[in-house]
Amino acid sequence: MGRWVAIVLVIIGASSYGVLSSFIKMAYGQGFTDGQITPAQMTMGTLLVWLVVLCHRRSWVNPLTGPWIKLSLIGIFGLALTTAFYNMALEALDASLSIILLFQFTWMTIAMDCWRQRKLPSRRECIAILFILLGTLLGVNVWEMNLEQLSYTGVLFGLLSALTYSGFLFFTGQVQSTLPPLMNSAMMLTAALPVMFIVYPPTVFFQESGRVLLLWGLLLGFLGQALPTVSFNMGIPRIGSTLAAMLGSIELPVAIIAAFLIIGEPVNGIQWLGMGFILGGILISENKT
């Protein structure tokens, strides 16, 4: 796989997360709760990945021949917890503030990578981080937020989602696996399910609204689990976690545009400027000259 193909895959995965937040808000608007949406999303996303594995004969390998313990831990702490924490933040906070908190994964991931390599970020990486963080603040129009009724529990969940997401990006780039990327993804998601069902019992599927919930789970599972997990497993090992964190910031512009197109949230000039800063930060991070 070429470097640019890997970059495109990471951008696709991050963009999928950006679209996800609008649909989660729509599901909450129909009366569903975090305790219903999260298990539906994880379950259907896992089933989708296994369906793709079954249709892709090259992925028919024994998963226990790879680093299945490491993959399982990434699935539990990186995927299950990120999904749960972010969905709880979305339920307690505005989508804009939730995204700000989640976006702390950029510097967290880079800090992890610098700690591993025992070095400081390069000047180019520091400039890119500043562009992305400034763009994030502009993109969500932080100056117009009402912080008086802020849910501190929601803030905590948002920061925890950033920490677990950065862990997912970092460790996905570190695990050396001989398994096909699809099987890596299936192992991560499968390991996350039992933990998810301890926190959110699957009895929600047998309630009166269970069929509609499964349909929401199918859509959210594709956008939040199947597509990004497979894309990241294919792309991140090729480009590294630091660049992946930079590219992952494309999530915010996609989230703002998706919210404008799907749920009708207005976008003003400051937000467009913020998206420009984020895209500029991504270009700076990739520019090697």
Q: What does the pLDDT look like over 42-63, one tens digit per residue?
A: 999 999 999 999 998 888 888 8
pLDDT band at 287 (very low <50, low <70, confident <90, very high): low
Segment 177-182 mean pLDDT: 85
Q: How far apart are CA 93 and CA 232, in angstroms?
A: 27
Q: How far apart are CA 191 and CA 277, in angstroms?
A: 37
Mean pLDDT, all residues of the chain? 85
pTM score > 0.85 for this model? Answer: no
Q: How far apart are CA 76 and CA 144, in angstroms?
A: 36
Domain boundaries, the chain: 3-286
Cα 216 to Cα 37, 58, 145, 210: the distances in Å are 8, 30, 29, 10
pLDDT band at 286 (very low <50, low <70, confident <90, very high): low
pLDDT of residue 190: 92
pLDDT of residue 149: 67
Q: How far apart are CA 199 and CA 122, in angstroms?
A: 41
pLDDT of residue 161: 93
Segment 134-140 mean pLDDT: 80
